Structure 1
Amino acid sequence: MTTPNKTPPGADPKQLERTGTVREIGSQAVWSLSSCKPGFGVDQLRDDNLETYWQSDGSQPHLVNIQFRRKTTVKTLCIYADYKSDESYTPSKISVRVGNNFHNLQEIREFGKSLVGHFCLGVSHAVTVLCQQLELVEPSGWIHVPLTDNHKKPTRTFMIQIAVLANHQNGRDTHMRQIKIYTPVEESSIGKFPRCTTIDFMMYRSIR
C-alpha cells in the first residue's frame, strides 16, 4: 500500500502582504463557529499566534462562518494547521463554501486545481480533491486556498464557510490555529506616477 505524500506547506501569508498586491480583511467580517471549547474560539483563530487554536466541541462537520456586511472581493484563504502538535485534531478533509447567506452556500468548485498550482512544489499528488473537497495529509504550515473562478478572477461574496468534514485518525473535534482572508489591492492612478527624483520636484512633494 502506497503511503500518501504529506501536504506541502504554503508560504507565510505575510509574504503575500509584503508584495503589496493583497491585504488581509478578516477584521471586516463577523466570525462565528459551530462550537468551541471555552477559551478556544474566534479570538484564538485571529490573534496572529501560531501557538493558540480554535478547538471545536461538538459533532461534525465543524464550521467556521465568516460574514461580511457588504459584498466583498476575496482572492485567497489561508489556514494554518499543525499535525505535529495536534495529531488527531488536525483536519483531513475540508470544504470551502461561498454565498450570500447560510441558505445558498456553494462549494468552491475549481479551487483544487488552483491550489495544487499555487504550491509550485511539483508534488500535486500531495493534495487530493474529492467532490470539490480538499483532503490534507499531515499538514504542518499554511494551506493556501485560492477563492477564484474558472477564469482565475477573485470571488465576490457576502459569506465564506469553512467546513471540517473529517480529522486525522478519525478524531472527533478539530483544531485550527489561524485563518486569514485576502482581497486584491487595486492599483490607483496615483500609484502609477514616477517618484520625485530631482531637487525641483522634491520641493513640491509635500504640502507646506
Structure 2
Amino acid sequence: MTTPNKTPPGADPKQLERTGTVREIGSQAVWSLSSCKPGFGVDQLRDDNLETYWQSDGSQPHLVNIQFRRKTTVKTLCIYADYKSDESYTPSKISVRVGNNFHNLQEIRPREQDIETGSEAEFSHAAVQTILLSQPTEALLR
C-alpha cells in the first residue's frame, strides 16, 4: 500500500480510508483491555459511534492491547478523545509501545494529546505484532 509520508493533522480517518490514503486494519487484530465496566468494552471502543466509548473499571494504568496474528506494518494510530464531553476522564497523555511480543515492547514516545480534535501517532511504517496503549491518567478513552 502506498501512503503519503505524513497524515495531515486532524484528518478524518474515515475520509482518508474512503480515498484510499489509509486502510483500517484494526479488525485484523485481537483487542483486549486492562479492565472495563459492563457495556463499555472493546465493542464500544471500536464501533465507530462517537456516543459510545471504553470505560475502565480498575486501577491505573489503563491499557488497550492490540495484537496482530503476524507482523503488520502500522503507519498511523488514530485516537478520538472528547474533552468537552467529559474533561475529568479524558486522557491527557497516551503511551504507545510496539514490538513483536509483550516482552520486547518499546515506547515510541509519550504524547500530549490534542484532546479537542483527536490524536494520531506516527509509526514510521513499523512492522509490529503487538501494540500497547497505556493511559496513565483517568479511566475513559473515547
TM-score of the aligned structures, taking structure 1 as reference length: 0.47
Specify whether residues 188 and 91 from structure 1 end up closer, same or farther in structure 2 by C-alpha distance, changes over 3 A only. Answer: closer
Task: Say if 2:36 and 2:56, in contact at 8 Å, map to a contact too.
Answer: yes
1:187 Cα deviation after fit: 30
Listed as ranges, the gaps of 5+ residues in structure 2 are 110-114, 124-140
Specify whether residues 91 and 5 from structure 1 end up closer, same or farther in structure 2 by C-alpha distance, changes over 3 A only. Answer: farther
Identity of aligned residues (%): 94
Paired position in structure 2 for 1:30: 30
Paired position in structure 2 for 1:79: 79
What are the Cα deviations for residues 17-59 of structure 1, in whole angstroms up to 9, with x where unaligned? 1231321010000000001011100000111100000001111
1:85 Cα deviation after fit: 0.7
Q: CA RMSD in A?
A: 13.2
Structure 2 distance, partners of 1:80, 1:190, is: 9
Paired position in structure 2 for 1:60: 60
Task: Say if 2:82 and 2:116, in contact at 8 Å, map to a contact too.
Answer: no
Divergent runs of 4+, >3 A: 1-9, 185-193
Listed as ranges, the gaps of 5+ residues in structure 1 are 110-184, 194-206
Structure 1 distance, partners of 2:2, 2:40, is: 36
More strand by share: 2
- Give the total of aligned pairs: 120
Paired position in structure 2 for 1:102: 102
1:103 Cα deviation after fit: 1.1
